[in-house]
Amino acid sequence: MIDINEIQTILPHRYPLLLIDRVTEMEAGKSIVAYKNVTIGEQVFQGHFPGHPIYPGVMIIEGMAQAGGVLAFKSMEPSAQEETKEKVVYFMSIDRAKFRAPVTPGDRLEYRLDVLKHKGAIWVLDAKAYVDEKLVAEAELKAMIVDK
């Protein structure tokens, strides 16, 4: 398990854009399971939408990407992991994105990602988001680890 303190040593994101709370499972180079607790205190609900809060799909995609970033960094050789402060993950593409159900305050988003391809600094991930075992979003993400 990777808690929020360790996540913050891996990812450069901070509030309000740090979108994973904990990693519950990970197999280096293969897969990761992480989650985010969605609360009414999220800044985004001030405008999306007043009186009818819906967590934006773009935030779900970003949360999946952050989980993928943790997987990529934690899959590096231990000696290379020290260099993560000098690296960042950039999106290259988001393909086949689908949003299947709305996410609302009180939901726990569980991100499940599997590596489809990894070559050098490039990662291709099958990413899915669930609430209570119901698929709410999915996409194929391609990203690259680069120097800051």
Measured distance CA(100)–CA(80) in Å, rounded: 38
Query: Bridge partners of 139?
Result: 127
How many helices (H) and strands (E) are present in the chain, helices listed first?
3, 6
Q: For 75, phi and psi rounded to 5 degrees?
A: -90, -10
Of the candidates 27, 116, 99, the residue with the CA atom closest to the CA atom of residue 63: 99
Structure tokens that stand for 131 in this block: 């609430």
Identify the active-site residue in 13, 48, 52, 118.
Answer: 48
Structure tokens that stand for 42 in this block: 């999220």
52 given a catalytic annotation: no
Torsion angle of the four alpha carbons 47, 51, 52, 53, in this order, in degrees rounded to the nearest 10? 50
The residue count of the chain comes to 148
- Residues annotated as catalytic (active site), given as ranges: 48
